[in-house]
Amino acid sequence: MTINAHRRALLAAGLALPSLSFAAGEAETLRIGYQKSSTLMIWLKSRETLEKALAPLNVRVQWHEFTSGLPLLESLNVGNLDLTADVADAVPPFALAAGANLTYYAIETPSPTAQAVVVKQDSEIRSIAQLKGQRVAFAKGAGAHYLLLEALGEAKLSLRDIEPAYLTPADARAAFERGAVAAWVIWDPFLAAVQRQANARVLRDGTGLASYRRFYLAATPYAKRRPDVLAKVYEELRSAGTWIKQNPGPAAAWNAPLLGLDAPTVEAANARRTYQVQTVDAASLTEQQRIADAFAAQSILPRKVTVAQSPVWKPA
């Protein structure tokens, strides 16, 4: 789906989202967007942690679920959200290219093994170079797309040397299992699922190529107006990340039904994610620019963007 199509769909859907209006003395609403993959935010939501933490600030929380990252950031940009849960590192450049007024709020530290190029266990393909002339499945514009560009470049190849198959994770999994594609570039928990359930073999993960940071973003007007709220949410995200990593079994058992996967698969996926939340640093912004430049060079982004022009939130 194109950015313009996303925008039209979002604006239509956004009509159902309540507008923000409150009188003096009434609780202000913090509107948070999240996806099924937003483990830390969903953990906080399931325990009403933010509702309790923000009550002293006279702030209530409103949750909105999205199926993917780009519509989520579009909603942030048009004023229907104040804060987003984590999105993959390839998503913000698309929002910036569409003119989004967003603030980089926080990141999860790099998890490069949480996405990979996989082949079937009995495949004769043993290196990225052997993908030349082969059909490879991946989601266009996703972090997996960027990983593939970098992996091909490392092997002195480009997208012109393969046959791209732009597929959603569900369609790509089906094509992979029936042998319609030679390789699939995918992220967790889909990666863990295809490894455990279909005996897929990792050909190349993101180590040394693509860091796979997860970004949290805020609407810039809200970030400027309510830094106290952002500071409290940031504190709770850090605590949630610590709990998830220190309690892998219980965390997987809690999250598995929400993802429609078995607990061991979720635990395997979670082991590759750091869930370590920190403020946005120079290294993460530098990689954001590399991702944006790579997609612009492929004409996937409608225009070049300068990531450094976006504000970065820091706790007081």
Residue 161 pLDDT greater than 90, yes or no: yes
Enumerate domains of the chain plus CATH numbers. Answer: 3-110+212-309 (3.40.190.10), 112-205 (3.40.190.10)
The pair of structure tokens assigned to 175 is 């094509």
pLDDT in tens, 265-294: 999 999 999 999 999 999 999 999 999 999
Percent of the chain past pLDDT 90, that is, above it, reads 81
Residue 93 pLDDT greater than 80, yes or no: yes
| Pick from 79, 92, 85, 87: nearest CA to 63 | 85
Per-residue b/e over 1-34, b at no fewer than 16 CB within 10 Å? eebeebbeebeeebeebeeeeeeeeeebbbbbbb
| Pick from 185, 224, 245, 211: nearest CA to 314 | 224
- For residues 189 and 269, is the Cβ–Cβ distance under 8 A? yes
Task: Point out the least confidently predicted range of 3-17, 113-127, 139-153.
Answer: 3-17
| Pick from 45, 193, 218, 217: nearest CA to 114 | 193
Average pLDDT over residues 6-13: 43
What's residue 163's pLDDT? 97
What's residue 8's pLDDT? 45
- For residues 230 and 102, is the Cβ–Cβ distance under 8 A? no
What's residue 267's pLDDT? 97
What's residue 25's pLDDT? 65
What's residue 17's pLDDT? 41
Q: Residue 225 in 3-state DSSP?
A: helix
Average pLDDT over residues 218-242: 97
The per-residue pLDDT of the chain, averaged, comes to 91
What's residue 72's pLDDT? 86
Average pLDDT over residues 63-79: 86
- What is the DSSP code (8-state) at residue 312? B
Distance, CA of 89 to CA of 225 (rounded, Å): 26
CA within 13 Å, CB half, 79: 6
User: Residue 74 — very low, low, confident or very high, per pLDDT cuts 50/70/90?
Assistant: confident
More confident residue, 69 or 8: 69
User: Residue 6 — very low, low, confident or very high, per pLDDT cuts 50/70/90?
Assistant: very low
More confident residue, 101 or 9: 101
- Residue at token pair 């960027």: 146
Query: DSSP assignment of 25-92, as one string?
Result: TSPEEEEEEE-TT-HHHHHHHHTTHHHHHHGGGTEEEEEEE-SSHHHHHHHHHTTS-SEE--EETTHH
Average pLDDT over residues 125-147: 95
Distance, CA of 23 to CA of 80 (rounded, Å): 19
